[in-house]
């Protein structure tokens, strides 16, 4: 998937004019790019469109308009765009109660390495997690992780041909499996692959 350049971005003024419509399109697009695994964990699969939105929002909030600063945002978010043989996802652990959240983040250390995807007929694929920095320490895990799931060429072909995709987590304190993700999600993720 092609990376974003400055030419793909809107000026702050233009983005302000089109933001409501652009945001509505992105939110609709994202509906088919997320998979809840159990009640508190969700994988949000990124692509070029979701990253364009993220960058546009960062530029808007931070009032960034200088070329060097825009290039820094591109360098930060372009790595989250799939490369054709992988899926890239933001993994979030969400607990509404602060006390419960703290307790669970302490209990779920290492969960980012025990999350998987599985194309029918193949072994589970565990992610390469947090390539930018470590997000788990001896006390707790973070509520947000960045993951890259690398698919072998045979797996890519299987997904493109309609194979079932399962996802799950096998942490001792949080174990859930979806035997098959919804067809619209599978189709959206298949489109990320070459």
DSSP conformation class of 194: -
Query: pLDDT tens digits for 52-97?
Result: 999 999 999 999 999 999 999 999 999 999 999 999 999 999 999 9
The candidate with the shortest Cα–Cα distance to 144, out of 81, 80, 91, 103, is 91
Averaged pLDDT for residues 103-110: 96
- Measured CA to CA, the distance from residue 104 to residue 2 in angstroms comes to 37
Query: pLDDT tens digits for 162-172?
Result: 999 999 999 99
- Measured CA to CA, the distance from residue 2 to residue 182 in angstroms comes to 26
37-45+82-194: CATH topology is Immunoglobulin-like (2.60.40)
Rama region for 121: left / alpha / beta (φ>0; ψ in -120 to 50; rest): left
Per-domain boundaries in the chain: 1-31+48-81, 37-45+82-194
Averaged pLDDT for residues 142-167: 97
Q: Specify the pLDDT at position 138.
A: 86
């Amino acid at each position: 998937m092609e990376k974003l350049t400055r030419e793909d971005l809107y000026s702050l003024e233009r983005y302000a004019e089109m933001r409501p419509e652009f945001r509505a399109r992105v939110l609709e697009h994202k509906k088919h790019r997320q998979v809840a695994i159990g009640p508190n964990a969700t994988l949000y699969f990124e692509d070029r469109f979701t990253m364009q939105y993220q960058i546009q929002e960062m530029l808007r909030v931070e009032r960034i308009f200088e070329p060097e600063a825009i290039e820094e945002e591109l360098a930060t978010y372009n790595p989250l765009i799939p490369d054709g043989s992988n899926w890239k996802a933001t993994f979030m652990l969400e607990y509404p109660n602060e006390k419960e959240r703290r307790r669970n983040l302490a209990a779920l250390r290492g969960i980012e390495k025990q999350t998987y995807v599985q194309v029918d007929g193949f072994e589970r694929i565990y992610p390469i997690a947090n390539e930018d920095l470590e997000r788990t320490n001896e006390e707790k895990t973070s509520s947000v992780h960045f993951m890259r799931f690398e698919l072998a060429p045979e797996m890519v072909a299987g997904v493109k041909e309609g194979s079932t995709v399962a996802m799950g987590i096998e942490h001792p304190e949080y174990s859930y499996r979806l035997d098959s993700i919804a067809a619209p999600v599978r189709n959206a993720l298949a489109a990320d692959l070459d």
